[in-house]
Amino acid sequence: MSLRLEEVKEILECEVVVGEDQLDLSVDLGCAADLMSDVLAFSQSGSLLLTGLANEQAVRTADIAEVKAIVFVRGKKPNSEAIKLAERRRIPLLCTKFYMYEAAGRLYASNLKSR
C-alpha cells in the first residue's frame, strides 16, 4: 500500500522544509539508513528515505537512488546546501522529532512496507 506525503506528515508529525506543494505524491516503500551506501544498495526507486544525515549528501544520494522524499529523524534539520539542492531536484524534505526506529515503526504500522 502506498502513502501520500500528506499522510506521512501527519503520521510522523512532520515539519515540511521543502515541497509543501508536493504533499500529494505517493510513496510505495520505505527505507531507513544513515549510511548513504546502504541507501544506494538497498533502496528502490520511489521510496521514502528516513535518515539522520541532514546534509546535501543525503539529497544527492536520494536523487541518484530515485528516492521520492526524505524525512530527517531525531529532530535534525537539513543545512542550507541540502535545502537548495532539494529545491533544484524537487525532492521534498520533511523533519520529525521521532527517532528512526519509532518513525519506521509508525510508517510500517500504517502499511508502508520495505522491499
Q: Look at residue 23 and tell me if it is in a domain.
A: yes
Residue 115 included in any domain: no
CATH number of the domain enclosing 28: 3.40.1390.20
Tell me, yes or no, whether 48 lies in a domain.
yes
Q: What beta strand segments (E) does 34-81 contain?
A: 47-51, 69-72
In the DSSP assignment, the letter for residue 22 is: G
Domains of the chain: total:
1
Q: Determine contact, residues 78/24, Cβ cutoff 8 Å.
A: no
pLDDT tens string 85-109: 999 999 999 999 999 999 999 999 9
Domain of 90?
A: 3-109
| Per-residue pLDDT tens over the stretch 49-69 | 999 999 999 999 999 999 999
Residue 114 covered by a domain: no
pTM to 2 decimals? 0.96
Structural domain includes residue 29 = yes
